[in-house]
Amino acid sequence: MTIACVYNDLAVREHCLDRSLAAYDGPVEVEYLPVDNTAHAFTSAGAALNHAARMARHEVVVMVHQDVYLHDLDQLARAAAALDDPRWGFLGANGVTSGRRSVGRLRDRVILIGDSAPDPVEVDTLDEVLVMARRDDLVAEPLSEDPELAWHAYAVEYALRTRARGRLVGAVDTAITHNSLTINLARLDEAHRHVADGYPDLTPIHTTCGTVAARPSRLRQLPLVREHGWRRRWLRESSAAARVTTALDIPVVLADIAHEVDLVDWSSDAPLRLVNLDRVGGFAAHAGRPEVLERRDRPILMEAVADLDGLRSSLSDVSPDEPVLVTGLSLEDLPQLRDVIEPERWMAGVQWDEVWLLGGPPALDPPLEWSRPQAVPLRARSRARVG
């Protein structure tokens, strides 16, 4: 298979994608086509990736972001083999179904997302982080090079175009970590609006960045809703936070650890140890082995385990001075961890319907941002600083 990547940061590409390719010594023949856009030679991702597709020597072209680590190229090749079935026109690592379900198991920064899909599951659209198609299809029907879709939603548009032509779009497990350091939302709304205008018969369009309706919601644009819409989530997650406190007697915050992990204090001298609990399956079996990835020159030792026994084993040798983050827990898991969670050196976070735990020095001196009103649960004590 051919792996294509348009990049604008050589150091990121070398640390993530290049390093994972160099580590592979299996039987799959891989052609690697990195497309240099550091000098802005291409005005869109579509233009750069279409260039790579025309150059590709293999039947399947995998298009992947520069900040992705490929843990298991054999698994990626198995996923790509599904394109031998002509019903499938476009596959990717993660997508959203018509029922708004995230499908395709992967690590997004420090959390696992998506339901497992050992075989492709039909979805509305795909995330651009990793997508694949047959080279012949990409040459005949290239990715959009429309300026409105320059760096956003080009895979969404291609998924809709594929569906409109009567073929299936699917998400499948690919065993990857997306080690994204930034969130680029510039012109995302405009890109979504452009896609919705082009495919009105397929609205509402469910994407990994939300649902795009035929017409924008006026209610969501009201100042009252925009300023206070977070309170509904805050009330729901505050209820879960109270149950965490009851189970473990530790401080709790409401925070999206995937996007706020870089606020946590760790260093090269004291790396962060990450353990993802993968009870859903689809990730730990292929990508559970410890691997070090850096975030802004600070190393994280990442691993994934399939069950609580594996988690307890991983935590058994953690020293009191070691920063550690555990994600993917449910409220029902917590009572079974009381004997390994010392209240004086741990704190917890509630994110959506999951719980994460932070241990070691970072738990004793959490980020100032976790003292904002949105992060402090109702009637729950927090160790977050207030000044």
Consecutive sets of 10 residues in the chain, 387 residues long: mean pLDDT of each?
98 98 97 98 97 98 99 98 98 97 98 98 98 99 93 93 97 98 78 85 87 64 60 88 95 96 97 98 97 98 98 93 98 96 96 95 96 88 51
Indicate the SS3 state at residue 376. coil
CA pseudo-torsion sign 318, 174, 109, 253: negative
Residue 185: per-residue pLDDT = 65
* pLDDT confidence of residue 362: 97
- Burial class of residue 201 in the structure, from the number of CB atoms within 10 Å of its CB (0-12 exposed, 13-18 middle, 19+ buried): exposed
| CA-based radius of gyration for the chain | 21
pLDDT given at position 226: 58
pLDDT at 3: 99
Residue 218 CB neighbours (<10 A): 8
What is the pTM (predicted TM-score) of this model?
A: 0.93
Cα separation values, 301 from 8, 170, 324, 352, 371, Å: 26, 31, 9, 24, 27
Q: Among residues 328, 343, 351, which one has the least CA distance to residue 383?
A: 343
pLDDT for 227 equals 60
Give all domains of the chain, ordered by start, each with its CATH number. Answer: 2-212 (3.90.550.10), 225-375 (no CATH)
pLDDT score, position 38: 97
**Residue 387: its pLDDT value, please?**
42
The CA distance from 177 to 293, in Å, is: 9
pLDDT confidence of residue 13: 98
Instruction: Please give the pLDDT value at position 262.
Output: 98
Dihedral of CA atoms 45, 159, 170, 175 in degrees, nearest 10, equals: 10
